[in-house]
Structure 1
Amino acid sequence: MQTRFPIRLRPALLLCAALALGGCAGSPPETASMMRNPGYGAGGLNGVRAVDRAPRLVNIIAVTPEVLAREGGATGDAGGGWAYRLGVGDVMQIFAVDAPELTLDAGYRVEMDGAILVPFLGRVPVDGRTTEEVRADLTQRLRPYFSAPQVEVRVTGFNARSVAVVGDVQRPSRQPITDRPLTAIDAINAAGGFAGDPERARVTLIRGGREMAVDVRAFLESGAPTPVLQDGDVLRVGGRIGWGAPEAPARATARLLRPDGRLQSIDLVAGPVSVAQVVPALGMIPGGAVYVLRASATGIDAYQLDAAAAVNPAIGGMFRLRAGDLVTADPAPSVDPEQQVSRLTPALRAMARPQA
């Protein structure tokens, strides 16, 4: 289970956090202010934000087995941390101990309002949720009826999300997004494979109006990962003269903040890199802690592992870095969340610097 420590930044930390999360060194100064985030109440979170910017929070997250399973996988291109989110048109099934009436032969179709109609419970919103989130919600809603409800949720019909594979493949088609990550090469294979020579094929991923090259040669020669596709992607194989050249694939890198303050790039293209692999460069000592800083929708998540866990093959060896991560160490970590954030200030500043 994830342990979150929401941070109330002291005034002394305000400027550092604003510089770290609001811009790079050398940028024009910005006025920073401490603002109450809506929805947290009188004792809730305080976030630091620059004027006209959304609140940015630093969350200290102790790495537990649950966190490791959810966040510790390989880079997105390798499918780590993949979770399917339900959408309109999907069909799901509910299985509940002591409540067989919740299991319907036809299952539950997600309707246009993003909800399903469940006996006892009425309409339950599921659009945009994972099956685990729906399971937890249903369990909570069933507590008034059963003392210890046990619920399982499965998607039996994936209809809401898909990608299109077009061009020089055997069967141009639309491929469904499911609860298993669909890579570019998987989608091409599902479309019957390349119609021509794969080593000479030009493969382009179109996402949000942008074109990005997919390095098929690297996959064929060394097994390098190809991108995991998202709902609405178009994968074009081949092309016509006159179409603009796609952008070169961005190099997937993480960074390491060494004890002497130097930033070191970590190349993730050749394959997954774990926390345990980079710990020697940090000069870890017993009692120290490793932090993996990772950008989130609301700010920075700082995943914390103690020195023993960081070198443990079952923990640090399984926590794989993602593109954009920054790894740092604290030889004498505090148990106070505010002090932890204070000591992470150099890493937060480094996080804001553009990668070379």
Structure 2
Amino acid sequence: MGGRQVDKEGTQSTFHLYNHKVQGGQTMLIRTTVAVTCLATLLAACAPGPWLDKARLQDDLDARPTTEVYPVQQITADVIMQQVRKVAVEQASSLPSDMTKWDYKIGTDDILGVTVWDHPELSSTSPTSVPESVVGAPPLPTSNIVPADSNGHRVGSDGAIFFPTLGRVKVEGMSIETVREKFVKLLGKNIRDPQVDVRVLAYRSQRVQMTGEVKNPGTMSVTDVPLTLVDAIARAGGETTNADLSRLHLTRDGKTMTIDAQSILEHGRMKENVLLKAGDVVNVPDRSDARVFVLGEVTKPQTVQIARAGLTLADALASVNSIDVRAADPRQIYVIRGAAENLQKPTVYRLDMTQIDALLLQTQFALQPLDVVYVGTSSAVRFNRVLEQITPSLATLFYTKALVFPGNY
């Protein structure tokens, strides 16, 4: 009896001792885990490399800048056709481009030459040819003729010129032919069947400014010869090597329009070759904005310059060595557009490269300056990256437990 009681007491003592060790081990594990966590946090605060102290920043990382939802248009053949039609409509400019309708209007500071047949005392110039209305008539006597004004008649600020026997004659805003007819009518009161010729000796009233990436920027006079956009570029010596003719800026009456002058030269779209008028400012920009950004799961994210002939989605992807086949989701090829127009309402397109026609569509989808091409990440890769982030922490806990309970491993 006494022996059984001793064995029982011994068993209870052993059980209590074992329980005490287990509890002690658990306590040690908790303490060690807390210590390791505190140490990791302390080391994170002192970690080397780029780091920003956010203690003085009032920032909510979970806050969204806007709740706006943007619709996504899948890139299809219909979308590309709409894109082509839109470009065609934009290039069919409402600005005049028909040179046959051009008629120079006389303005202030222009110098006019008026010749009256057989009346040298009234003529301000001695013409070198006979007016069309008197072809076949005897040649004008040119000897001993002194013009009334060797520099012609200047159009004053009142829009008129002074002419002998007539005084101030209003000519501003009239065409050359209209002024000639006016002089015929006025001189016809004193001269029988007057033969009159009117010319502009100096064009000073109307000017066009040429600025930007041209070889000889400056001021150009508008004359009786129509001045088109291409003419102005040519007169300025042509564009420089850094010029972006696809986004030429024309400012008229306080409004700035973008014109694709490159399409005139390469595709003969003459509706873009608008006629310039007085006060126009033509600016040829450089190619600093002629670029797109290719980001996301691509082999080599970078900025891609838009060539003079343009840039397609296929060109952009090929420039970065295509998408990353290990991480990219080929169904998520996004094009975000709108940085140059409206940052608040971007247009989003998506290409599904798993479809057979996508190989052709991406070669026809034209990119615009400052477009962003973003390649999304596949779901499996996102999951693996989460595991990659938490694996070091799990390994730390495993080794900590191994140190506390070395006999269990």
Q: Higher relative contact order at CA 8 Å, sep ≥6: structure 1 or structure 2?
A: 1
Structure with max Cα Rg: 2
- Give TM class, smaller chain: 0.3 to 0.5
TM norm structure 2: 0.40
TM norm structure 1: 0.45
Q: Judging by fraction of residues, say which structure has more helix.
A: 2
